[in-house]
Structures are given as structure tokens and as C-alpha cells.
Structure 1
Amino acid sequence: MDGFHMSTSFTNEGSSPIDSDKKGKRRKVIKSCTFCRKRKLKCSQVRPMCQQCSIRKLPQCIYTEEFNYPVTNTVLFSQVPNVALVQKIQSLQNLLTGNNNDTGRESILNASLNNPLRFFRTSVLGENGSMYIFGPTSWKTLSLFESNKFQREFQNLWGVLEPLPEYNEPQSQEPSIVSILPTFSEIEICVDSFFNSTLFDLLRIFNKDDVPPLLEKLFVRDTTNVDLIVLLNLTEDPRDKYNLGIILQILCLKHYNRNVPSSIDKFIHDLTSSSSSSNSNFIERLQFILLSYINIMINSTSGVWDGTQGIDLINELCQSCVSLGLDDINRWYMKESQETKESLRCIWFWTLFFDVSCSYDIGRPPFISDGFLNLNIFTVQDPGSSSIDSRIKPKRSKLMRDFLRVSRFIIRELHKRQTGEKTPALLLLLSKFIQSNFSPIEHYTNPIYYSEIDPFDIMILSRVLCMITSIGNIDMMIGQNHKIVDKNKMVQFTLMSISVCVNTILFNFEKSANEEEDVLFEGLKLSTVLINPLLIRIVSEVYGLAFHKLTFREKGFLFLIDLDTGKKIEFIKYDEENFDEILTGFDVRSDKFLSFSGTIIRFYEIIDTLFDSNNRNKELFRAVSKSYQLTSTLAYERVSRVLFDKATQARLETEKVWLRKGINMEQFSDLMIEEFINDVWKAFKHISKDLWSIDKKEFYKQYNFDI
């Protein structure tokens, strides 16, 4: 229908007897200014100020040519008319009108291109042909967005050396859950151990007294041997299945590790994948899903952690929490005991946290919208109602509240359709958050002080460092004209991050070194939950960026070379650089870039404390080898290191040749840079050709992996 037909139709409808008072309503364009029209004065229609308005010395003469806006007398005849308001209405109406034509739609589309991060994404294809799109904050996007040569080489080598998870042999007949359960007393010990663990102290999603009675209810024991479970007592109450699932998840955390019996694994999988409905929406279901996610973080065998392993669980958890009203506990659960309310708050507490964390890992906004976020619930309701120390509990609540406020704001900014150059401001906000909410950073980067740190702090700090390093890397990739202080800050936070990861692993391993050998040490499980997203992010981003700089764009000589023997003496490192100092505070030099070589040397020194050949590390890697997530992440680092070392050798060999030619590498022209790049790459391809024939078992044996 064109405009003429619309106008005709409207006029005919308006001419009915019922609307006779509108019959004479004027529809033509108004040419007089608003003041003259309201006062019924003859307007000279002179722009920008008509004669009548000029005589009266009005601040502005208002023309509304296309629409007859109802400007009130109060506004119009006041000493200072609200000109800005009328003009705002005019501009908004013009924008709305423009959206009705193709030109308007095109302008809106172009406006949405203002945020380059909306297109900073990458797709990853699975072996079965599946595809997953990762957004700008995923470490996979940061590693794979530019199809650089390092990633191609690494993916090829990783395909050869990637450690494969162990799977239970399929059985012709699935054994019943009852037949493979441990004894009743062993289950009691596992449950009691869970409730006395640091992990439970962090989560506190159960009322501690509610779970032990479930053992008597769910497990029917033999009359002659009360330690032998002979039957599962699952009534028609659907909550029984979720209660059983909770007990089995605790067994997976405390009793089993890699060797979860297939029947238990199938029961948990079926219960997890069952869709939510009004018939299965229980608090027990939320507790089960949360424990399932924790187990996925620790025991997943679906590749190196990238967030996809648990995102479906988190989506389901978020949906169920909202449908159960956990965003307003005081309203919907007002009659429940204080202990129950505290458990519900903790469930909501961790749902919001993992929603932010997992969504950030895959590069998308959180599932739960701001409309369901009431940060007042993080005010401690009754400090005396829980066994948590009265000093620690308020501190944790405040830290979580502040983290959610800052992190959700930052994610919103990153995913807006339109945004300005905000990454430096976001980095500053996160840096200030760390400085104002945590102990001195040296307490996390120096193992001497680590025992004083609350694991809850590490959980939050690791996610903040994930954000800082990823946003910093994004800024380096798409930004221009970086300041010296900005690049040095990125070096600082990268080294801080790897220090936190290494100290967390070593401290928690040594703390739990007296655990049984047939399960993963309790401390390593905790470490995985605390730092899993940060460790793989730092390893992947550091080696990818370092390889790129080493083989391509790092000007100048990187090595001290003895030309008589042709041997490398060492990386060139500025004498005045003190990398230990930047791990004790937040100040960095602004007059000179921290050297690439010095950064790599310090990174090596930190990460190699895990791989140094000593008795502690041998025990450590025997324990690590029981966890596929830790094994695959640390193996990822070793494979990256091998490839990087080959690139280092190629750079060294090329520098020797160019040094003998007497070429000043500090003054490369663009043409010389390209020639140098080609020489380095040719040398690398020649030097690295032996990597593809490495024996996987021997490769990992040298690092004490039990693979």
C-alpha cells in the first residue's frame, strides 16, 4: 500500500459522524513558528528568527514544519522555553521516520558496525562435523582469529601429541548401580569428607544436616551385613532421583576419579540431560546441576577447557534458578528456615558467578539478564547462622557482589552493538578492582605468603585476571598507537597470572600430599576449580603472541651471539629490568618497553617451577596424570614450548647470518623485514621437521607425565 492509499483510507475513516469534531482538523504542513501560531499572530516566517520573536527578544524561534507538536503554554510562554526538549522530539521523530525507508535501515546497519568486537569471532569445527562459534573473549578466538603460522603448526603438532583420555571398556551388559557402589560406611566417609572439605566451604549449597539422612532413605542394606547395599529405594517422588544424583556426584568427587563406573556415569548423564519442567523443578535439581558442573570442571575429558564443556549445564541452571524464584528468595521462601535461605542464596550466588565465568570463556553475554539481578542479596543476613567465620563471610559476600557488578558491566560494554574505544578504561576499572578488593598482589604471586590467602579470593581473582589479559590482548590486536605503559601493564598482568596459577597448584598439592594415591589429590581438584580458565588462557595467548613476535615482527637482535663459535650466549635482556618487582605491585615503567626477551625468560622461570626435575614434581605429575583437565592443559604448555623453542633456534640461526652480513637490524625497512621473516620461516620449517616423528610416550615421560 503506497502513501496515497494510506492517506485516503485515513481520511475516509476520519469523516464518520462519530468523529465530526475531527473533521476540520488541519493536516497541511505548518509554516508559521510555534510562538506565532499559539498567539495567533501573523508570522513573517523568516529563518532563523521571525519578526515577532525578534521584537519580543525570545531566545529562539521554533519551527516545526512537518508535525504539529502540542507544546504547552507553560513551556511556550515561559521566559526560557524548553527549546532543547522540542528539538530532541524533532530529532527522534526524524530518526523514526528515516527508519521506515531503505536508507534508514542502511544507516542503522552501519551504526551497528561501530563495535569491532562484534565481528571478533571464530568458528571451530569438531571431528564429527559440528561447529561452535566463539566470541571475542574466548581464548580460542584470541588464538585462532588470525590464521597465523604458529597456530597452523601448533594444531598439527597437537594432533600428534595431544594426550587422549582413558575410557572404561564398554561392557556387554550394564551392571546395576547397586552392584558397583562402595560399602555403606565408605559412602558415609565420602559424604563426611566432602562436608569438611575446602570445596564445600566455598560452595555451601547444602544444609549440611540434610544430606546424611538421605543415605538411610535411599540405600537399603542387607539384614545380615549392614555395610552391604542391596537395593535403591527410589519412590515416586522425583526428588529422590536428584538426591541420589547428589550422592553419586559426591562419590565422583571423593571416591572415583577417571574410573567412574559406566552405570553411574549413565545415570548422571541421563539425569543431567533431562529437560526441566514444572514436574522436575526442585531445589535438589539445582544442587545436582551445580555439583555436575563442578565435576565437569575437574573430570571432563572433552578436550582442553574452553567453556563449551559446561555451558549447557549453566544455561539449564540459570533457567531453573529463575523459574524457582531464587532472584527474590525473601519473597518466595519467606517461611523457610534461615539455614535453608542461606543455602538458596549460595546457590544463586554461584549460579550468577558461573554464568559470568562460563559465558566469558565462550565469548557471549551472561544468560541471566540484569532485570533478575539484585545485588542486595549479597548482604549477610545473619552472620551467626553459619559456621563460616563471621569475618570471612561478609568479606566473601562483598567481594562477590563487587565482582558481579564490575564483570557484568564490562561484558555488557564489550558486546554492545555500538561502542567507542573503551578497552583502556575497562582495563583500568579491573586493575582498580584488584587493588581495592584483594590483599597486596605479592601475597598471590609470592609462595611465601600464599598460605594466608582465602581460596575464595583466588576463585574471583583468577576470573578478573582472565578478563584483564583477554581484553588487553584484544586491544593489542585491534588497537593502534599503544603507549609504553599499556604494553608493560600487559606483561605485568601476564606474569602475575601465571604466578597465581603455579602457586595455586603447588600449594594445594603439597597441602594434600598425604591423600590416597588411587584418586586425584584433593588439593589438585580444588586447584582445577580455582584456576582452570586462567591457566589455559595464559598459556595459549602467551605462546601464540611470543611465537608471532619471535618469527615476524620483533625488530633488532634478540640474542647475544659469539660469532667466533656461532653459539648463543643468552637472550638479550636489559640490565635495569627487574621482573620480580613488577610482581609485587602495580607500578610499571613508562619510559621504555619491557624487553621481549626478558619477559620470556621470566615466564620460563615461573612455569618451570612445575617442571623442574625434583622429587616433589615427580609426585606432582603422577597425581596430575589422574586428571585429564590438568594433564591436557600442562601438556598444551609443553607442546607450545617445544614449538616455540624451535622458533627461537630458527631466529638465532637467521640472526647469525644477518649479523655476519653487517646488517643493522634496528633500522629495518619494510622490505628487509619481509626478507628477514622469510628467512626465519625457512629456518624454522627445516629445524622443526623432526617434531612430527616424536614418540608421544617418550615425550611426556621426560616431564614425568604418567601417560
Structure 2
Amino acid sequence: MSETQRAVKRRRKVVKSCTFCRKRKLKCDHGKPMCNQCLERKLPHCLYTDHFNFQLTTDELFSDSPNVELIRRINELEEKLQRKNSDGGIVSDSTNCSSTPSSNRSSTSTGPRNNPLWAYRTFIQMDGQCIVFGPTSWRTTVVAQGDRFVKEYRRLWEMIMPERCKLMSNSWSSQKMPITPEEECVTSALCRELPGYQELRKSVEKFFDDDYHAMFKVLDKEKTLNDLERCFIRCPDDDDRVIDIIAPDGDGNFCKAALILMILCLTKFEGSPPPSFSSFFTSLTALNLSSKLSFVERSQFLVLRFFNNVYYSYVCSEAPQVGGMVSELCECSMNLGLAEASTYYKGKENEVGPLYTLKNVWLYTLYADVMVAFEFGRPLLISDDHFDPETLKCYEQTEEESGGFLRRRRLMLMKFIQVSRYCMTELNSRSSSGNVAGAVEQLISYIQENLLPIRYYTSQKTFCSVDFFDIMVLGPSLGMLLNFHNIQRIWLNSPVTSVKNGLVKFGFLSLSLSVNTILGVLERDGGKDGHRALHFALLLVNPLLMRVLSEMYSAFFHKLSLFEDGLIKSIDWGTCAIELHDLDVPTTEYYSFVGAIKMFRKIIDELFEPSKAHLQVFFSKSYAIATTLALEKVSRTLFDRARESRTKAENYCTFTDEGTISQETLNEMTDIFWSTYEQQSQDLWSMKPQDF
């Protein structure tokens, strides 16, 4: 026998068992598409290799590497190629792009579904930080308008940011900043800036009598006052002077003291903590990273800090801090088992406070997870393994909330969490189907079934009868509807009339809600504490207002700079008027573009009416609202310059058919538009936002 003949390998024995049974040495019944062993264990796949025309070693076949999956995929493609050659047709590869879930998948389906929106992400680098935002982030929507628009948008923010930073620094220019040695501990520096003990106590009592506590109810007054007494050590010679802050039980739980300081921020410092407070909060974060603190008070503190801080973080460089805060909150609440507070903490109320406060902390943890997922365009941090809608049923009524008013709030919040979690999973998860239309339907149904008719929120005359808690869920619901229609327009290239009209409709509803909330809260306050009232109003709508201005102005600008077929002679070819008393979106006629611009400005200008002069005083002293309004004024001016550039570009080029245009003429008009716009806007970049 020759060497060649001796080198021929023996025929490999065909393996008929599935890979799972073979690896575990189980008896396989060879059932297809799934054997009984795999069915009993509820495995996602049951893979057979007997039909593969490849030589595999035992290690390759039964290792944890994805070789078998790859080979199966190759086999499928070969079969499709054979069908193509035999039929002479084109076989599309849609295996990984299922638009709806399938409960009867065959053994030849490959892995999880592939969300078509997952690829739409934007990478932003600012102040040395690198951040990726996903599909539902308004930053991703802005970047999608094109490089030229993004360039202008960045220049816009470069103009506004110095003024914003100046406002932030000025907010503490009147505070006495202690000069402390580097070795001085954080608590000592903090005590230097604390008010007297009696003022601390008054701030705590004030907190439990105002909107913040009524809105969230995550703390108990008696327990909080007791923690104040134990954590803040007073001078023996001066009973009103705080000289130290301690963890009273010797367990390192400084979160009890942090809660008191957070209350002080909300009641005395208009939500903006002094530098020494921020240092103390940062120290707690560092301590948690090293020790993984698991105290109920830590989750309560993080909930309040989220609602105080997250609504001021529009700037990309601030985003990681917000994301990190919510990550801590989710991890801490899950570790504490707050999803089943009645089970784990019943009988321990003397230590942790009433059970309803813990249940509320869990609800707002879920809420914060949804809000950050939406603003960042990322998947939810709390998986369905930790979220059971059935568990929430025991939350419907608590020992403290026996009235219908508070029960309505709780039910409304729970239903919003369920709907919004579905939406975020559908759009921001890799393994979802990306069913945007289904998410839109769910949100509209939620609003119609759980809230007052929309006209109550869009009219100043009826807004006085609205429960401000409604804004907590209606604001993000409208923001999602605005964003989802924009996603359909930009990423999915949907030509449907209702998509473009939906973008306009829900953008205007969002803007009207934001303006009415700001004015309504300030009017209800009656001038008693305007700064605090404005802070509370912004807590409800600030992220929504920033999203509306960013997404709507980018869409308006995009429409001016894009020369679409049929939009050559006039950009105002729509005839339909915009109504804000319902959720209906026209499906046959477009909204008037010029009419939309006029109405958009009319709504935002309600903040600057002469009759509101007594309220405008507070706008200039809030860096949050000042930044937002500066963005609107600068964007408005740039839009007007772009509109003039559009007119000049149209007048310069001639064409015979208004409905069609050659690519050459289209390119020429686009170049003329941008060159004219750059010339006309050149003088604006040297101005300050307040000059507009």
C-alpha cells in the first residue's frame, strides 16, 4: 500500500444525536425540530449536525465556540444559492430580520431577531469624553440631519455653553466658599457651609409639606427627622451649630445624612447643591464603588438625586454622570430586593420606614431606568427577570394611600412603566423587532385610557384643573411619540403622510405641554417662591422641552435645506391646520409648513408675553431655562437665515417642471443654499445669546 493510500482518513461515523445530548451524554430521541431532552429544558435551539458536509473534530463540534452556528449558516446560504441557480430568481436573505415575534421557529432559524434600528447610533466626543447614543436619543436624531447641519448645531452650542457655565458659576458667587486645607475631611468642610440646626429641621419639615414629597412619597417624615437628630452632631456650647456628621449606627451608612442634605438642596438651594455638598455626594459614590453599600437610604437618596439632577444634563459631557447615577440606583434597588418589599421588609418598619415608601422607591427606580434608556438610546438596565407586572398588582393600594386620588397616581405610573418598558425594549434592544408603529399605538392607547383628554393639558384655561403628577407620565409619553415619528421619518424612510404629520403634531403637543406647565406652576405659586416653583416645573418638563426644540428645529432646518421633488417653487404645499385638542393625525393632507412655523413660535412666545413679565424675572436666574430659551432664540434666527437662503437658491435656478428636477440642478441648488446661508449667518457667531 502506498503512502498516499495509507494517509486516507477513515469515513467518519454520522452523529445522529443533537449536540446538547451528545455533549451531556444523554439519550436523544432524535426528534425534530427539537428532541424531548431540549424541550423539557426549554432550550432555545436543538441542533443536529448529521446533514453537514464538513469534517469536524470532537472538540470543534462540542466546544462552546460558535463554529456549529457558523456552519449551519453556511449550509443555509448554500441551499439558497442552489435554489437561485435552479429557479433563475433572486433569493433574499431575511433570516435575521424578523419584524414580528415567532412562536413556532424551525430548527433552521438563526439566533435572536435583529433590530434594524440597532445600527443607528452616534459617537460623540466632547471635553475629552467619548459617548455613544442610540436610536431614541435626540442627539442621534440631530446627527442624522447630515454633516453640514451637525457643524452648524455644534457651533450653536459652542456659542451657548460659555453663557451657561457663567450662569452656573454665578449661582454660587454669593455663597461663602471656605478655604480649607487639603487634608481636611469632607464632613468638616461640609459643616462649614451648613445652616443652623433649626434651619435644617425647618427645611425637612417644609419638604414634607410641599410638592416634592407629595409627588414622590419615598421618605417618611418621622424617620427622617429622627435621622436628622442622630446624624448631625451639635456643639455643646451652641445647640444650633453643627460640628460633625456621622453614621449613627457605626455601619458606614452616611446615606441617612445625604438624604437630609438632598432635602436641603431641594428646599433651600433651588436644586443646585453647593460645592461641598457635591463633594460629599461624590465621596459616597466612591465609597459605594469600594464597598457596595446596600442601604435602603441609599436608594432613596439616589431617587431624589436623579429627579433633581438628570433634568439639567443636556450636555454630552454630563451624560456619563447621569447614566452612572441611574446604574447605581438600579443595582442598589435590585440588591435590596425592593421589588418584593412586602416580603423582605414586613415587620422591619421601625428600621426602614413604612413599606409604601420602599414600594415607591422601586417604582421610581423603574421609571428612572426608562427615562435614561430613552434619553440615551440604550437598553434597559433592569431586565424582565427583575420586573414582574403581576408583582405590581399588590402596589395598587397601600396602608397609606387609601384615597382614590393617590391610587389614581400609582396606577397611572405603573401602567406607564409597563408601556414605556415595552417601547424601550422594542426600539433600543438588539434582539427586538424594532416595531416602531406598535410602540406608537401602545403609547396613544395609554394616553387615551389613563389621562384626561389632551385639551386639558394644551389650554391654559383648563390647565389649572390638571394634577401636576400627570405631567410625569404625559411628558415622556409625548416625547416618545415625537421621537418615534422622527425615527420613522429619518431611519426607516417612511413616506406615509401620517409619519410627517405625526412628528409635527406630537412636537406641538409636547411644546404646548411644556409651556403650560412652566406658566401653570408659576401662576399657582402666586409669587410666594418663584425660583422654587420654576425648579419644580423644570423637573417635570425640562428634558421634554430640550428634546422638542432640538428635534423640531433640526426637522425644520432639514426641510429647508433639502430640495425634494414637488417642493421646488414653494416649501409651503400643505393645507391642513394643526389642532391641539386631540391626538388625531391627518393621513391624507400635510400640515402647512409656514403655518407650523408660525404656530410653533406663537406657543414658545407665550413665555415672553408682557403680561408674564412678573414671571420672566425668574427665567433669567435659572441656568437651566436660560440655556433652553437661548437655544430657541439662536435656532430661530438661524432658521430665518436658512429660509432666506432657500428663497435665493430657488430664484437662482430655473426649471420647467415644478414636480421634477435633475440631479445636476438639485446639487447646484444645494450648494447655493449652503454658501448663501454661511454668508448670511457669519455675523451671528460673534454675538451673545442674549443679543438675539
TM-score, with structure 2 as normaliser:
0.79
Q: Which amino acid aligns with 2:425?
A: R
Per-residue CA deviations over 1:597-639 (Å, capped at 9, x if unaligned) read 2222211111121234x2524x444323433332222222222
Task: String of CA shifts for 1:357-394, please: whole Å, max 9, x gaps.
Answer: 111211111111101112234336585732x5711222
Moved more, 676-685 or 269-278: 269-278
Question: Relative to structure 2, which stretch is displaced further, 92-101 or 226-235?
Answer: 92-101
Residue 142 (structure 1) aligns with: 141
1:330-360 alpha-carbon deviations (Å, 9 max, x no partner): 2211323496210110000100110111112
- For residues 308 and 350 of structure 1, the distance between their equivalents in structure 2, rounded to whole angstroms, comes to 20
**Cα distance change on mapping 1:481 and 1:322 into 2, 3 Å:** closer
- Tell me the SS of whatever aligns to 1:395: helix
Give the % identical residues.
Answer: 28
What is the correspondence of 1:238-253 to structure 2 with a 5 Å cutoff? 238=251, 240-253=253-266
Q: Contact (CA 8 Å) 1:304, 1:629: kept in 2 or not?
A: no
Instruction: Look up the match of 1:399.
Output: 412
Does residue 1:536 correspond to 2:546, yes or no? yes
Aligned pairs (5 A) from 1:52-71? 69=29
The answer on whether the counterparts of 1:308 and 1:362 sit within 8 Å (CA) in structure 2 is no
Corresponding position of 1:633: 628
Cα distance between partner residues in 1 of 2:438 and 2:247 = 55
SS in 2 for 1:245: helix
Aligned to 1:118: 118
Corresponding residue to 2:47 among 88, 93, 97: 93
Q: Which moved more, 1:541-550 or 1:664-673?
A: 664-673
Q: How many residues align?
A: 607
1:65-106, Cα deviation, whole Å (9 max, x unpaired): xx984579xxxxxxxxx9xx9xxx9x9535898761644356
Residue 125 of structure 1, CA deviation:
0.3
TM-superposed deviation, 1:211: 1.0
1:255 alignment partner, one of 257, 260, 268: 268
Which amino acid counterpart does residue 371 of structure 1 have in structure 2? D
Secondary structure class of the residue paired with 1:275? helix
1:117: Cα distance to partner?
0.9
**1: CA distance between counterparts of 2:201 and 2:311?**
22
CA distance in 2: counterparts of 1:334 and 1:136, whole angstroms: 42
Equivalents in 2 of 1:244, 1:280: separation in Å?
14
From the superposition, tell whether residues 656 and 171 of structure 1 become closer, same or farther in structure 2 (CA, over 3 Å): farther
Residue identity matched to 1:474? I
Secondary structure of the corresponding residue to residue 133 of structure 1: strand
- State how 1:527-676 maps to structure 2 within 5 Å: 527-554=537-564, 577-579=576-578, 582-612=579-609, 614=610, 616-617=612-613, 619-657=614-652, 665-676=658-669
8 Å CA contact retained: 2:116, 2:433: no
1:281-292 → structure 2 map (5 Å cutoff): 281-292=294-305
**Amino acid across the alignment from 2:325:** L
Change (3 A) 1:231 1:481: closer
For the structure 1 residues 359 and 416, does the alpha-carbon distance in structure 2 shift closer, same or farther, using more than 3 Å as the test? closer
Distance in 1 separating the partners of 2:644 and 2:489:
26
Q: Which runs of 5 or more structure 2 residues have no equivalent in the other structure?
A: 1-6, 18-26, 53-66, 78-92, 98-113, 182-187
* C-alpha distance in structure 2 between counterparts of 1:377 and 1:463, whole Å: 24
Q: Cα–Cα, structure 1 residues 557 and 280, in superposed 2: closer, same or farther, change >3 Å?
A: closer
CA distance in 1 between partners of 2:363 and 2:15 (Å)? 60
SS in 2 for 1:205: coil
- Aligned-partner residue type, residue 616 of structure 1: K
Mapped pair 1:688 → 2:659: no
Give the letter aligned to residue 554 of structure 2.
G
Displacement after TM superposition at 1:438 (Å)? 1.0
Q: 1:104 aligns with which of 54, 72, 76?
A: 72
Partner residue, 1:474: 487
Q: Give the distance between the partners of 1:406 and 1:268, measured in 2 at CA.
A: 33
| C-alpha distance in 2 between matches for 1:151 and 1:480 | 20
| Residues 8 and 623 of structure 1: CA distance in aligned 2, closer, same or farther (over 3 Å) | farther
Indicate the SS of the match to 1:637.
helix
Paired position in structure 1 for 2:324: 312
Out of 442, 450, 473, the residue aligned to residue 460 of structure 1 is: 473
Where 2:222 maps in the other structure, the secondary structure is coil
What corresponds to 1:329 in structure 2? 341
Q: Distance in 2 between matches of 1:260 and 1:401?
A: 31
Residue 173 (str. 1) matches residue 187 (str. 2):
no
Pairing 1:345–2:359 present: yes
Superposition map of 1:184-263 within 5 A: 184-222=197-235, 225-235=238-248, 237-238=250-251, 240-257=253-270, 260-263=273-276
Task: Indicate the residue corresponding to 1:133 in structure 2.
Answer: 132
Q: Is the 8 A contact 1:306 1:361 kept in 2?
A: no
Amino acid at match of 2:690: Y
Q: Deviations over 1:251-277 (max 9, x none)?
A: 111112487433222112211332257
Contact 1:257 1:299 (C-alpha < 8 Å) held by counterparts: no
Q: Distance in 2 between matches of 1:419 and 1:263?
A: 44
Residues 378 and 398, structure 1, Cα contact 8 Å, conserved in 2: no
Residues 500-509 or 225-234, more deviating: 225-234
CA distance in 2, matches of 1:171, 1:225: 20
Separation of aligned partners in 2, 1:556 and 1:101: 49
Q: Structure 1's 642 and 28: CA in aligned 2 closer, same or farther, altered over 3 A?
A: closer
Distance 2:15 2:659 in 1: 73
> Contact 1:307–1:358 at 8 Å: present in 2 too?
no
Which residue of structure 2 aligns with residue 368 of structure 1?
382
**Relative to structure 1, is the Cα distance of residues 104 and 558 closer, same or farther in structure 2, using a 3 angstrom cutoff?**
same
Structure 1: segments with no counterpart, 5+ residues? 12-26, 31-66, 73-81, 561-570, 703-707
Match of 2:670 in 1: 677
Tell me the residue number matched to 1:46: none
Alpha-carbon distance between aligned partners in 1 of 2:223 and 2:572, rounded to the nearest angstrom: 62
How far apart are residue 217 of structure 1 and its match?
2.1
Q: Distance in 1 between matches of 2:236 and 2:135?
A: 60
Aligned residue type for 1:548: H
- Say if 1:214 and 1:243, in contact at 8 Å, map to a contact too: yes
Residue identity opposite 2:116 in structure 1: P
Conservation of the 8 A alpha-carbon contact between 1:143 and 1:544: yes
Local SS of the residue matching 2:132: strand
Q: Give the 3 Å change call, closer, same or farther, for CA 588–392 of structure 1 in structure 2.
A: same
Instruction: Give the stretch that moved more between structures: 355-364 or 626-635.
Output: 626-635
Whole-angstrom distance in 2 between the partners of 1:498 and 1:621? 18
What's the offset of the Cα at 1:555? Answer: 5.5
Farther-moved stretch of structure 1 (399-408 vs 619-628): 619-628
Per the alignment, do residues 271 and 416 of structure 1 end up closer, same or farther by CA in structure 2, a change over 3 Å counting? Answer: closer
Residues 1:429 and 2:442 are matched in the alignment: yes
Q: Post-superposition shift, 1:182? A: 1.1
Deviation at 1:136, TM superposition (A): 0.9
Amino acid at match of 2:552: V
**Contact kept? 2:115, 2:432, Cα under 8 Å:** yes
1:134 to 1:354, Cα distance in 2 relative to 1, 3 A? same
- Contact persistence 1:413–1:419 (CA under 8 A): yes
1:183–1:227 Cα contact (<8 Å) kept: yes
- Pair 1:602–1:389, CA change in 2 (3 A): farther
